[in-house]
Amino acid sequence: MVPRRLPVVVYLLRIDDVIYVLHCFEKKSRAMPRNDFEKARQRLKAVRARLAEEKKHEKHS
């Protein structure tokens, strides 16, 4: 018997016309994998920090 696969979960963020894929994984159970959620959250912070830094440099140029 082949084990049933649950769908792939993808965390996305859209800012202006850009879509950022923060994290994706294949769920092995119905439980919410905390470490995967935390990875996406950390990457979201990194994207926002990078965008804020880019805006800061644009204003000074």
For residues 34-52, give the mean pLDDT: 91
What is the per-residue DSSP string for 12-54?
EEEETTEEEEEEEEE-SSSS--HHHHHHHHHHHHHHHHHHHHH
How many structural domains comprise the chain? 1
Confidence label for 57 from pLDDT (cuts 50, 70 and 90): confident
Report d(CA 21, CA 60) in Å as an integer. Answer: 29
Q: What CA–CA distances, in Å, run from 11 to 17, 26, 47, 59, 61?
A: 17, 12, 13, 30, 33
Confidence label for 59 from pLDDT (cuts 50, 70 and 90): confident
29 in a domain, yes or no? yes
1 in a domain, yes or no? no
Under a CB-based contact definition with an 8 Å cutoff, are residues 23 and 11 in contact? Answer: yes
Say what the pLDDT of residue 45 is. 94
27 in a domain, yes or no? yes
2 in a domain, yes or no? no
Domain membership of residue 27 as a residue range: 8-60
3 in a domain, yes or no? no
